[in-house]
Structure 1
Amino acid sequence: MADLIDLQADQSGFAVGAVKAELARKLRRAVSGTGRDTLAATKDDTKSAFSLRTQSRRSPFSRLANAWKLRVYPNDARSDTLSPTALVYTKAPEIISAHELGVTIAPKYASFLAFPTIEAARYGRRIFAAMLTPAVWMKENRVPLRFVPMPYGGVLIADLFRVWTRKNGRNKKARLAVFRRERPQVMFVLIRQATLRKRLHVAEIARRMGGSLRVAIEREVSAS
């Protein structure tokens, strides 16, 4: 009789383990699916906010949507945990936060914010555009910049900077010799502050997806 009782207990424990494992798989499917939906929603919101569907890949925000990532814990899909977690995060939290809240950016140790123009980036090839400052540009190119005041702030101009205009010809050397010009170029635009308006709705997406997770769990658990 004792052996029979022990056998029944073992079978009961096996049944409980099987039920737990199946429930864990269903919960993970629900969490993973909702996580993927959340990831897609945040990417779509970012793309819509900056009209990335109509802009070229050279847009400064073209990689912002792809900075959103998804991780599901535990990493092992065969784990029988009953508390799986999906984490949707971004590799650019400061940029995302600024465009979600709306902020005003002002210089901390200078009078102006300096934004490099296309010409400045072109002649500063060894420096990333985000790191290109007037001081770095002048050091790299050995060309002084002249400040010209404007109602909004001002511009920094490089005088007598050589601009190579390539046109059809017999050889490169001849073209450069014939079409070389020297003219002033605007390298930086200076403004006193910049205001970023609210574009993103991450908190709203998180609230909406919280309800979606409950529905997904109920659907998975009730499925046969």
Structure 2
Amino acid sequence: MRFTATASDVRKALAGTEVQIARSVTAGMRQVTDGLKEDLRDDVRRAGLGQRLANTWRGRTFPTSGESVDAAAYVSSNAPKLINAFDQGVTITAQGRKYLAIPTPDAGVRVVSGRRAKGSGGNGLTPAAWERETGAKLRFIPTATGGVLVADAFYRRQAARSQRRKSFRAIREAGPAKGRSFVVIFVLVRQVKLRKRLDIDAVAKEWADRVPGAIAANWTA
């Protein structure tokens, strides 16, 4: 996803030499670039999507060097599909007869020994990666909406103080938790709905409306 902001008819709006106008327009558009980029990052952080996704927003001002009356601000994300999903709200459906595996809090930490979990893009935890890391086996239990993958109740997640480590292990308790024989590690569903959590168009429009003011603020006679 990307946005471009330009200043139109600045020669009519500003009375001055070509050099003065170019200097004002370019300085103004650089401020717009930085402001739009930071506000889009703030939008991601406010949505609770984390600094890493926020940092995918990048900005450039054209021309990259020198000054021009046709200067433009260009802001885009390095993760356009993910940004668009949270901006529009989309339904993600498992392909074929497969399920989407959603880790529960009992699954443990999400980073898998510093390695990329196959099929997860390196950002999530898969059932295969969980079994490999813990040495524990998962059992499938069907439900009305899909199913769950469970581990023996002798397994429990790491203590909170250990959950920032790059690896985790199964912790065996003395006996099963009272009243249950297993722990749900993954919930399996056919599809999941991502609700709209960003408002990118509103942020972009706000900064587009600021372009004339940014240029005027940098005007030097």
* TM-score (normalizing by structure 2): 0.68
Corresponding residue for residue 63 of structure 2: 74
Q: Secondary structure at the match of 1:148?
A: strand
Query: What is the CA–CA distance in structure 2 between the aligned matches of 1:62 and 1:125, rounded to whole Å?
Result: 20
How big is each residue's C-alpha offset from its partner over 1:119-172, in whole Å with a ceiling of 9 and x where there is no partner? 434497324563532233334544331112334432101226555888xxxxxx
Query: What is the CA–CA distance in structure 1 between the aligned matches of 2:217 and 2:153, rounded to whole Å?
Result: 70
After the TM superposition, which segments of 4 or more aligned residues of structure 1 sit over 4 Å from their partners? 139-142, 160-166
Preserved contact between residue 162 and residue 182 of structure 1 (Cα < 8 Å): no
Cα distance change of structure 1 residues 133 and 109 upon mapping to structure 2, 3 Å threshold: farther
Cα distance change of structure 1 residues 124 and 38 upon mapping to structure 2, 3 Å threshold: closer
Query: What is the CA–CA distance in structure 2 between the aligned matches of 1:66 and 1:132, rounded to whole Å?
Result: 22
Higher helix content, 1 or 2: 1
Residue 29 of structure 1 deviates from its aligned partner by 0.9
- Give the counterpart letter for 1:38 in structure 2: L
User: Runs of 5+ in structure 1 lacking a partner?
Assistant: 1-17, 53-59, 167-178
Preserved contact between residue 27 and residue 84 of structure 1 (Cα < 8 Å): yes
Preserved contact between residue 99 and residue 197 of structure 1 (Cα < 8 Å): yes
Greater C-alpha Rg: 1
User: Runs of 5+ in structure 2 lacking a partner?
Assistant: 1-15, 117-121, 160-171, 177-181
- Give the counterpart letter for 1:26 in structure 2: S
- Give the counterpart letter for 1:215 in structure 2: G
Query: What is the CA–CA distance in structure 2 between the aligned matches of 1:152 and 1:88, rounded to whole Å?
Result: 41
* TM-score (normalizing by structure 1): 0.67
Corresponding residue for residue 210 of structure 1: 208
Corresponding residue for residue 147 of structure 1: 140
Cα distance change of structure 1 residues 40 and 125 upon mapping to structure 2, 3 Å threshold: closer
Equivalent of residue 106 in structure 1, options 82, 86, 93: 93
Q: RMSD over aligned Cα, in angstroms?
A: 3.1
Residue 30 of structure 1 deviates from its aligned partner by 0.7
Identity %: 31
Residue 100 of structure 1 deviates from its aligned partner by 1.0
Cα distance change of structure 1 residues 124 and 118 upon mapping to structure 2, 3 Å threshold: farther
Corresponding residue for residue 185 of structure 1: 183
Cα distance change of structure 1 residues 209 and 162 upon mapping to structure 2, 3 Å threshold: closer
Preserved contact between residue 43 and residue 68 of structure 1 (Cα < 8 Å): yes
Superposition pairs for residues 29-178 of structure 1, below 5 Å?
Answer: 29-48=27-46, 50=47, 52=48, 61-76=50-65, 79-122=66-109, 125-126=112-113, 127-128=115-116, 130-159=123-152, 162-163=155-156
Q: Secondary structure at the match of 1:125?
A: coil
Higher alpha-carbon deviation: 185-194 or 151-160: 151-160
Number of aligned residue pairs: give it: 183
Residue 40 of structure 1 deviates from its aligned partner by 2.8
By relative contact order (CA 8 Å, sep 6+), the higher-ranking structure is 2
